[in-house]
Amino acid sequence: MMRVYTKVTGGLKYTILLAAAIGLLVGINGCSSDIQTVQFKINSEPEGSHVALKVSGPNRPRSSEWIYLGHTPIRIVRQFVEDDVPGAKITLKVMHAGYYDQVREWDGEVFLNEAVKGGVLFWTPELVPHPTDQ
């Protein structure tokens, strides 16, 4: 009776291991989206302006959040999941106190084509002074 129990347990162990291995392979295969690395080089006139990035679209659960990238000049690398980009809109905003904000937007596929084919995404906006009330 002890042997039968051991054989069943051994067989059960192998069944569980096989099911886990198959689940792992399916999980890895299901998550095999390509990651695209995009280099940004953003300058501005005047320098020291603040830069923010927003990626919005149906596959983006936090589509209304801006990501602060830093002060110009910026040399930064960001990664994008290629499957999320086709329906998305990518927006860059450059801001500086006393100047109007400058915004540049791309549709997802245009963005990837420009960034991947060019190797780098350049943008140098010249900010327009905002008239002060005196």
Chain segment 83-104, per-residue pLDDT in tens: 777 788 889 999 999 999 999 9
Per-residue model confidence (pLDDT) at position 31: 52
Cβ atoms < 10 Å from Cβ of 71 = 14
Q: Position of tokens 């990651």?
A: 35
Burial class (CB in 10 A: 0-12, 13-18, 19+), 51: buried
Q: Does residue 39 fall inside a structural domain? A: yes
Distance CA 90, CA 106 (A): 5
Contacts of 99 (CB under 8 A, 6+ apart): 46, 49, 127, 128, 129, 130
Per-residue model confidence (pLDDT) at position 22: 67
Q: Mean pLDDT across the stretch 109-114? A: 83
User: Does 67 or 57 have the greater pLDDT score?
Assistant: 67
Q: Is 56 helix (H, G, I), strand (E, B) or coil?
A: strand
**pLDDT higher than 60, residue 6:** no
Residues 43 and 5 in one domain: no
Per-residue model confidence (pLDDT) at position 36: 78
Residues 40 and 21 in one domain: no
Question: By residue range, what is the domain housing residue 7?
Answer: 1-32
Q: Mean pLDDT across the stretch 3-22? A: 58
Average model confidence (pLDDT) across the chain = 78
**pLDDT higher than 70, residue 67:** yes
Q: Does residue 5 fall inside a structural domain? A: yes
Lowest mean pLDDT across 37-41, 54-58, 94-98: 54-58
Residues 16 and 40 in one domain: no
Residues 22 and 40 in one domain: no
Q: Does residue 128 fall inside a structural domain? A: no
Q: Which amino acid is at 97?
A: A
Residues 59 and 94 in one domain: yes
If pLDDT is split at 50, 70 and 90, which confidence band does 4 have?
Answer: very low
In total, the chain counts a number of residues equal to 134
The tally of domains found in the chain comes to 2
Beta bridge partners of 56: 89
Quick one: which of 33, 53, 31, 32 has its CA closest to 42? 53
